[in-house]
Amino acid sequence: MPHPDESCFQFVNNYNGSDIYAYVTGTDGQGNLVLLTTAGIWYYPDTLNRTAITKIDSTTIAIPILGKVNGMHSTQITIPGYISAGRVWVSEGELEFFAVESANGTITLKEPSASDLEDASAQVDWGFLELTYTEEGGLYANLSFVDFVGLVLSMVLTLDNGEVQVVKGVVDNAIMEVCAALQTQTNLDGMPWDQMCVYSENGLPVRVLAPNLFESINPGSMEGYYTDYVDHVWKLYATEDLTFNPGTNQSIKCRVGDDYELSCDGDNRSYCRPQTADIWSCSTGPFAILESDNNVHCAVVPRLCAAFTRTTLLLDGGGTQPSLTNTSYYLRTPTNHYSRIVHENEVDGKGYAFSYDDVSSGQENVAGVVAGANPRSLEIVIGGYWGD
């Protein structure tokens, strides 16, 4: 790489579609919103005025990816500087981005919506990966299915020392497979899992929404789904400790008290019983984290929500979280069948399927993270992993 703050991305096109584009968005070292241009420099969006939502010219930011002809083709781009809270978007057809200015003059990005059928990009097949590249932390990237499953992507990170890290993503026909499995689950329990599939105007599924996103546009659609399970969890841990291991030498013991709230040693506040929508989001109700919350609280929240999402709290060994391996996840009903089915359709089982999928009992990487201090290149494979 010519400069330490630059990074090289290579897009390998293994997709049978046409008109493939890539977009890179994030914030620079000063916290400013940036998008990568086709010229390989940062674009700092502006608005026409403080009341306007201004469309960003797609010819400036839509980076064409070479098509698949007689095998795979690759396109290389260079990221001109460090980037945080970044996303690399890949789409068949162009996506639309808009600049929005707040009252204090801050520019934010209106991104394509996976759930809004009126969104300008609603009929476009697209996906993204999340990344951060800083001087202190190096490069960190992950595939995310927290909100939806879309265009199939894989990642290969190569470090300067020759180490290669691979996350293969979902199978090449993942949307069809996931939709079929969700329909099967609906047939079993009568819940609207099948409705999480979003279809194009020609009747083909273009993406699959996660329960948290589905719930946001269909409030109450799965209300009460976790109620009996939460009742049993609260009853059990009123008589015995629920212990959390935060990844240090300490352990955090918790117990449901007479106020029907879960209280933990050293925590600054207790936890009310979660509703189904809280478990889907992992960020509302008892899982909302406040600026005033202490380290104990911030350690318990992800582990508690992961345990509910994976339905491990009533299993043997479930009294310590996390302690069980991924072979024990999603075995009981109710559970997050979207997350289960997504992981079943990942080639190597890796890739975030809910917000705290990086919670684990050891060295498991079900979250699908690649990371390193000195990256040589990040390869993004479109349309299904091509290697062994």
Note the pLDDT tens digit of each residue in 273-331.
Answer: 999 999 999 999 999 999 999 999 999 999 999 999 999 999 999 999 999 999 999 99
The pLDDT value given to residue 7: 80
241 and 126 in one domain?
no
181 and 165 in one domain?
no
Which of the listed ranges 44-48, 75-79, 317-321 does the model predict with the highest average pLDDT?
317-321
The pLDDT value given to residue 103: 75
In a domain, 131, yes or no: yes
For the domain that residue 32 is a member of, what is the CATH number? Answer: 2.60.110.10
52 and 127 in one domain?
yes
Instruction: Indicate the length of the chain as a whole number.
Output: 388
202 and 144 in one domain?
no
In a domain, 288, yes or no: yes
Residues contacting 170, CB < 8 A, separation 6+? 145, 149, 152, 178, 342, 345, 346, 347, 351
160 and 98 in one domain?
yes
| Mean pLDDT within 202-221 | 94
Query: What pTM does this model have?
Result: 0.91
Q: Copy the structure tokens of residue 366.
A: 């079900």
185 and 167 in one domain?
no
In a domain, 350, yes or no: no
Q: Copy the structure tokens of residue 286.
A: 């008892």
Confidence band, pLDDT 50/70/90 cuts, at residue 50: low
Q: What residues make up the domain containing 324?
A: 227-333
In a domain, 349, yes or no: no
In a domain, 346, yes or no: no
| Mean pLDDT within 85-96 | 96
371/130 Cα distance (integer angstroms): 12
CB 56 within 8 A of CB 35: yes
120 and 51 in one domain?
yes
Mean pLDDT (the chain) is 92
Which of the listed ranges 4-18, 314-328, 366-380 does the model predict with the highest average pLDDT?
314-328
82 and 107 in one domain?
yes
Residue 3 has pLDDT above 70, yes or no: no
In a domain, 148, yes or no: yes
Residue 125 has pLDDT above 70, yes or no: yes
Residue 4 has pLDDT above 90, yes or no: no
Q: Copy the structure tokens of residue 78.
A: 């260079």
In a domain, 353, yes or no: no
User: Which of 292, 313, 333 is a domain's end point?
Assistant: 333
The total domain count for the chain is: 3
115 and 36 in one domain?
yes
In a domain, 348, yes or no: no
The pLDDT value given to residue 209: 98
Residue 48 has pLDDT above 70, yes or no: no
For the domain that residue 264 is a member of, what is the CATH number? Answer: 3.30.920.50
300 and 245 in one domain?
yes
Closest by Cα among 90, 97, 76, 164 to 131: 90
166 and 31 in one domain?
yes
Residue 85 has pLDDT above 50, yes or no: yes
151 and 17 in one domain?
yes
The pLDDT value given to residue 388: 60
